[in-house]
Amino acid sequence: EAQVTQNPRYLITVTGKKLTVTCSQNMNHEYMSWYRQDPGLGLRQIYYSMNVEVTDKGDVPEGYKVSRKEKRNFPLILESPSPNQTSLYFCASSPTIRENTEAFFGQGTRLTVV
């Protein structure tokens, strides 16, 4: 089954403790991205990757890092989480950057930083 898988689904952590949210897709998609969703602010893009070893900032990249060492994986790294990064996070992928194609989203990771 074609899917985007995020882990963990829920995470509570303390300020400053490094964490990684994993994202994996099994569709051989080139394009992957991370969004966060906050009440009243909608979904905002954090980082995106057009292919292996190619990443770029989205609209709200501060406090986040990403890497794309393999095509299927696109982890989101919070080196020193802060309470303002408490949010619902979604990973998305799509087949290619040159065609109008649908995006596939993961089920989300609800992160709480205390």
Which residues would be at the binding site for other proteins (CB under 8 A)? 4, 29-33, 42-43, 45, 48, 58, 88, 90, 92-108, 110
Q: Of 15 and 96, which CB lies nearer to other proteins in the complex structure? A: 96
Q: Shortest Cβ distance from residue 24 to other proteins (Å)?
A: 14
Task: Tell me the residue type at 7.
Answer: N
Q: Of 14 and 27, which CB lies nearer to other proteins in the complex structure? A: 27
Q: Shortest Cβ distance from residue 23 to other proteins (Å)?
A: 11
- The pair of structure tokens assigned to 6 is 């995020």
Q: Of 29 and 85, which CB lies nearer to other proteins in the complex structure? A: 29
DSSP 113: E
